[in-house]
């Protein structure tokens, strides 16, 4: 019964702690206008380095930042524009850019006739139509989450809002019109506008010999002034300048870009002067320049100027980072601005001013750091994992063939368990160069190993101390802004966009493994078991809360993993056996914890909910199918990682090494577990945690592998001592 009480205590402690969250109020905003200027294929430095008085005015007096440009496929215009218009990761089609005025002639036929032939719908003569909407729909039906092509346009229309799109990015040989993908409705129709070649003019020295006719664009806007609630201008000259760079000299390319930016800036200034105080202006860049794409610099500038968007960095509840947002945040921003309910299945959240004014130079430095991390993170992680595999195999061979030399390999085992802490501390230093990063990693690792060895020369104590230090640093970082987690090589990747805050699966595994290591080893060192058990229960409850709670760890799979692993550890530390009944109690505890977690987060306003509460609301509104889609997505991700990720190799290597050591030298591990009961408990609880991580996390193989970086080397260390 005492064990059952501890399990229920974990659940109760979580619910009490979590229930202290506060809930904000969302103000309704009505009768507003929005104007979006698409200035594509530019970067933030282009705005800083050029004479653009109007854009700079918006940045100095409005809200701005950097935006990720992900989609549910590759980073192509059709996929990214569709993602913006769907509010969740989506894809387009090969011919998604075929948007035409309904009255345009396409290959000898009127666009409206082709559209009716494809969809059965007869558009109005003033509509803009997408001729490949059927294929766009088909492509998004195969996604493993809810995607509704044309959702933004449909919601605007249902709420009495009209939409207009002007401009294109045509060349002399190709018709490219991506902007309507953002605001078309579920039929593939935009209310009105002009995306034809009528808004272009011939200019022999411009890229492809054409440029946007800004005078005509301005005239069309003033003629319709006040009619559209949302207007999009596709200022295509920056795109044409980008796409022409292979044909012209570098100095010509630079001139083309400067001219395109200057013309766009001048037009933006004219439109803003025409607008009223009730208009929100957005300068949007869906994709970076081709050169930046080649350098993996996948962040673009976004500027908002108007009611509610005063001077400062932009942010959203999606990222919870000053100056960094996602392209899925734009649709919820538009809906909230028009006081339209936001669908529960959207992954983005409304943009708002973070309250931090900052400056452009700091944002550029942040961009450089994020791009550096995105570029070199795979290299550092692969190097670490390969070294870990080599160390494990080499140590095993020495133990089997040259066992008297095995004692000299202990520092290598220390290295394996120390690197997660090193990667975590590295962001405290200037690591935005390859040489600095390498030197920093080697220096921090050496200092940690030497310092801990000097404090306590007894080998296996090292793992308790490094586990304790790693846990403390992680927990402190979780409650103080998560700077280290947001910038560590071993943490989540911001540009990739899978996670932006909280504790990722990599360090979730590290934290659980480290906590299990130092708490169970404490029972080896101290005699007052009853006091230790009480302290350990409190530690497990706090760590579990930090992993699970929205706004702190926000990791659902991690909360299940922690609950199960800690519950098994408490069970064994209480001298209980792993029985069907006790496992049933643990399972019931997990279910109760999950229900409380999802329900309490769902009580918060939608704009403040994490993915935890959004999942609960999604199941309520769309049924169990949406939950099954989430499970499917996680299983597919796990399958891919197990099949292709190097983390699966290191986990397999560790398992094989430990299996061999179970049988040869004969009885060594059994003897260790017999002498050191609490080492066995640490091993069993960590194995249970790894299995749960593998089942309940979309990158569970990573969590399972990182969870073993303490207990695996520690067991090998014990084998070395036992054989000596």
Task: Note the helical H segments in 19-69.
Answer: 44-49, 53-61
Residue 135 phi/psi, 5° resolution?
Answer: -70, -35
Res 375 pLDDT > 90: yes
Task: Report, as an integer, the average pLDDT of 280-299.
Answer: 98
Per the listing, tokens 């490219």 go with 176
Q: Give the range among 86-100, 246-260, 280-294, 708-722 with minimum mean pLDDT.
A: 708-722
State the pLDDT confidence band at 531, using cuts at 50, 70 and 90: very high
Q: Determine the Cα–Cα distance for residues 130 and 102; give it in Å rounded to an integer.
A: 9
Per-residue pLDDT band for 15 (boundaries 50, 70, 90) equals: very low
Q: Residues 388-439: pLDDT tens digits?
A: 999 999 999 999 998 889 989 999 999 999 999 999 999 998 788 899 999 9
pLDDT-derived band at 268, boundaries 50, 70, 90: very high
Check if the beta carbon of residue 505 is closer than 8 Å to that of residue 697: yes
Q: DSSP H helical segments within 89-223, as ranges? A: 111-119, 133-141, 151-158, 180-183, 214-223
Q: What is the pLDDT of residues 29-51, one digit of tens each?
A: 557 999 999 999 999 999 999 99
Q: Does residue 561 register a pLDDT over 60?
A: yes
Identify the helix (H) or strand (E) that includes residue 210.
strand 210-212
Q: Contact at 8 Å (CB) between 325 and 314?
A: yes
Given pLDDT bands bounded at 50, 70 and 90, which one contains residue 717? very high
Say if residues 513 and 686 touch (Cβ distance below 8 Å): yes
Phi-psi region of 150 (alpha: psi -120 to 50; beta: other; left: phi over 0): left
Beta partners for residue 284, in sequence order:
38, 302
Q: What is the mean pLDDT of residues 260-279?
A: 94
Q: Which two tokens stand for residue 46?
A: 């282009």
SS3 string, 411-477, reads: HHHHHHHHHHHHHHHHHHCCCCCHHHHHHHHHHHHHHHHHHHHHHCCCCCHHHHHHHHHHHHHHHHH
Residue 324 pLDDT grade (very low, low, confident, very high; cuts 50, 70, 90)? very high
Q: Region 364-390: what's the mean pLDDT?
A: 96
Is there a contact between 302 and 57 (Cβ–Cβ < 8 Å)?
Answer: no
Residues 6+ apart with CB under 8 A from 184: 85, 99, 128, 130, 133, 149, 150, 153, 190
Q: Does 248 have pLDDT greater than 90? A: yes
pLDDT beyond 50 at 18? no
Instruction: Report the pLDDT value the prediction gives residue 463, as an integer from 0 to 100.
Output: 94
Most confident among 459-468, 558-567, 642-651 (mean pLDDT): 558-567
Tokens of 25: 């109020």
Which pLDDT score, from 0 to 100, does residue 378 have?
95
Q: Which residues contact 591 (CB under 8 A, 6 or more apart)?
A: none
Q: Angle at the Cα of 379 (from 378 to 384), degrees rounded to 5? A: 95
Task: Give the pLDDT confidence of 196-206 residue by residue, as tens digits.
Answer: 999 999 999 99
Average pLDDT of span 313-322: 94
More confident residue, 13 or 649: 649
Tell me the C-alpha distance between 42 and 290, whole Å: 9
- Collapsing DSSP to helix, strand or coil, 313 comes out as strand
Q: Mind listing the pLDDT tens digit for each residue in 121-179?
A: 999 999 999 999 999 999 999 888 899 999 999 999 999 999 999 999 999 989 999 99
pLDDT band (50, 70, 90) for residue 9 = low
Task: Report residue 28's pLDDT band, with 50, 70 and 90 as the boundaries.
Answer: very low
pLDDT at 619: 65
**pLDDT at residue 217 tops 80:** yes
pLDDT at residue number 27: 38
Residue-level pLDDT at 24: 35
Check: CB of residue 608 under 8 Å from CB of residue 315. Answer: no
Give CATH superfamily name and number for 39-358: Alkaline Phosphatase, subunit A (3.40.720.10)
- CATH 3.40.720.10 domain extents, the chain: 39-358
In the structure encoding, which two tokens stand for residue 638, read together? Answer: 């796990």
pLDDT attached to residue 361: 96
Does residue 620 carry a pLDDT above 70? Answer: no
pLDDT of residue 404: 86
CA distances from 307 to 61, 154, 704 (A): 12, 24, 48
b/e 94-121 (16+ beta carbons within 10 angstroms → b): eebbbbbbbebebeeebbbebbeebbee
Contact 187, 150 (CB under 8 A): yes
pLDDT at 621: 65
Q: Residue 549: its pLDDT value, please?
A: 85
- Round to whole Å and give the CA distance between 689 and 516: 10
Structural contact between residues 268 and 37, judged by C-beta atoms closer than 8 angstroms: yes
The residue ranking higher by pLDDT, 1 or 122, is: 122
- 31-58 burial, b if ≥16 CB within 10 A, otherwise e? ebbbbbbbbbbbbbebbbeeebebbbeb
- Both structure tokens of 284: 């949007």
pLDDT of residue 606: 59
Determine how β-strand 109-110 pairs with β-strand 189-190. unpaired
First-to-last alpha carbon distance for the chain, in angstroms, is 43
List the one residue out of 561, 477, 461, 452 whose CA is nearest residue 517: 461
Q: Which range has the worst mean pLDDT, 113-117, 642-646, 659-663?
A: 642-646
Computed over every residue of the chain, the mean pLDDT equals: 90
pLDDT at 456: 67
Tokens of 66: 């950097």
Stretch 300-322: mean pLDDT, rounded? 96
Identify the three-state secondary structure at position 303: strand
The model's confidence at residue 75, banded by pLDDT at 50, 70 and 90, is very high
Instruction: Report the distance separating Cα 202 and Cα 206, nearest Å.
Output: 8
Helices (H) and strands (E) counted in the chain, each on its own, are 28, 17
Closest residue by Cα to residue 347 from 630, 595, 64: 630
Task: Transcribe 640-702 into DSSP letters.
Answer: HHHHH-HHHHHHHHHHHHHHHHHHTTTTHHHHHHHH-HHHHHHHHHHHHHHHHHHHHSTTHHH
Specify the DSSP element, H or E, that contains 232: strand 230-234
The C-alpha atoms of residue 52 and residue 430 are separated, in whole angstroms, by 32
Check residue 622 and give its pLDDT.
63
Look at residue 276 in the predicted model and tell me its pLDDT.
79
Residue pair 428/401 in contact (Cβ under 8 Å)? The answer is no
pLDDT digits (tens, 9 = 90+) for 469-525: 999 999 999 999 999 999 999 999 999 998 899 999 999 999 999 999 999 999 988
DSSP H/E element including 230: strand 230-234
Percent of the chain with pLDDT over 90: 73
């Amino acid at each position: 019964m005492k064990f059952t009480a501890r399990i229920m205590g974990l659940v109760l402690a979580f619910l009490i702690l979590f229930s202290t969250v506060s809930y904000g109020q969302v103000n309704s905003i009505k009768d507003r206008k929005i104007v979006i200027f698409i200035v594509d294929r530019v970067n933030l430095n282009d705005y800083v380095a050029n004479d653009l008085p109007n854009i700079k005015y918006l940045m100095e007096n409005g809200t701005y930042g950097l935006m990720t440009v992900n989609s549910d496929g590759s980073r192509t215009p059709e996929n990214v524009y569709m993602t913006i218009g769907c509010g969740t990761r989506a894809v387009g089609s090969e011919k998604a850019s075929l948007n035409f005025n309904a009255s345009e002639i396409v290959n000898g036929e009127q666009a409206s006739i082709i559209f009716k032939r494809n969809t059965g719908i007869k558009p109005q003569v003033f509509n803009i139509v997408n001729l490949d909407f059927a294929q766009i729909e088909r492509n998004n039906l195969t996604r493993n989450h809810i995607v509704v092509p044309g959702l933004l346009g449909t919601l605007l229309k249902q709420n009495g809002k009209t939409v207009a799109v002007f401009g294109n990015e045509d060349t002399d040989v190709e018709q490219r019109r991506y902007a309507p993908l953002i605001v078309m409705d579920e039929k593939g129709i935009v209310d009105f506008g002009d995306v034809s070649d009528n808004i272009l003019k011939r200019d022999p020295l411009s890229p492809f010999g054409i440029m946007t006719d800004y005078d005509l664009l301005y005239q069309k806007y003033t003629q319709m002034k006040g009619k559209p609630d949302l207007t999009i201008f596709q200022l295509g000259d920056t795109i044409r300048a980008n796409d022409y760079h292979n044909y012209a000299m570098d100095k010509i390319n630079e001139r083309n870009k400067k001219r395109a930016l200057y013309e766009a800036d001048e037009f933006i200034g004219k439109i803003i002067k025409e607008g009223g105080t009730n208009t929100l202006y957005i300068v949007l860049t869906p994709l970076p320049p081709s050169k930046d794409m080649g350098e993996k610099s996948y962040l673009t500038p976004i500027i908002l100027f108007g009611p509610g968007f005063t001077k400062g960095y932009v942010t959203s509840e999606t990222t919870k980072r000053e100056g960094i947002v996602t392209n899925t945040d734009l649709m919820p921003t538009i809906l909230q601005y028009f006081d339209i309910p936001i669908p529960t299945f959207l992954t983005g959240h409304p943009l708002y001013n973070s309250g931090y004014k900052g400056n452009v130079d700091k944002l550029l430095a942040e961009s450089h750091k994020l791009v550096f991390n995105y570029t070199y993170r795979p290299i550092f992680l692969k190097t670490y994992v390969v070294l870990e595999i080599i160390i494990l195999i080499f140590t095993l061979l020495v133990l089997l063939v040259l066992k008297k030399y095995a004692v000299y390999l202990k520092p290598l085992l220390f290295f394996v368990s120390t690197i997660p802490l090193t990667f975590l501390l590295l962001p405290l230093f200037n690591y935005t160069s390859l040489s600095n990063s390498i030197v920093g990693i080697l220096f921090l690792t050496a200092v940690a190993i030497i310092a801990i060895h000097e404090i306590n020369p007894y080998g296996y104590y090292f793992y308790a101390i490094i586990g304790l230090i790693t846990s403390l640093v992680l927990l402190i970082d979780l409650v103080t802004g998560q700077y280290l987690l947001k910038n560590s090589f071993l943490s989540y990747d911001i540009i990739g966009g899978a996670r932006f805050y909280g504790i990722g699966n990599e360090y979730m595994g590290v934290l659980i493994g480290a906590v299990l290591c130092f708490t169970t080893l404490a029972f080896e060192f101290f005699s007052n078991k009853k006091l230790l058990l009480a302290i350990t229960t409190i530690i497990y409850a706090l760590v579990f809360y930090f992993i699970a709670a929205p706004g702190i760890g926000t990791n659902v799979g991690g909360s299940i993993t922690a609950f199960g692993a800690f519950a098994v550890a408490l069970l064994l530390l209480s001298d209980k056996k792993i029985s069907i009944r006790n496992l049933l109690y643990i399972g019931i505890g997990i279910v109760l914890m999950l229900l409380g977690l999802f329900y309490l987060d769902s009580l918060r306003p939608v704009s403040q909910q994490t993915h935890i509460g959004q999942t609960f609301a999604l199941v309520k509104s769309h049924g169990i199918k949406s939950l099954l889609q989430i499970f499917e997505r996680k299983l597919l991700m796990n399958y891919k990682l197990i099949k292709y990720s190097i983390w699966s190799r290191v986990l397999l290597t560790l398992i094989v090494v430990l299996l061999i050591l179970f049988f040869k030298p004969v009885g060594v591990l059994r003897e260790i577990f017999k002498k050191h009961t609490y080492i066995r408990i640490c091993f069993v609880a960590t194995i249970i945690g790894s299995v749960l991580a593998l089942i309940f996390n979309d990158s569970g193989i990573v969590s399972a592998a990182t969870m073993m970086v303490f207990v695996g080397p520690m067991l090998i260390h014990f084998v070395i001592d036992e054989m000596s």
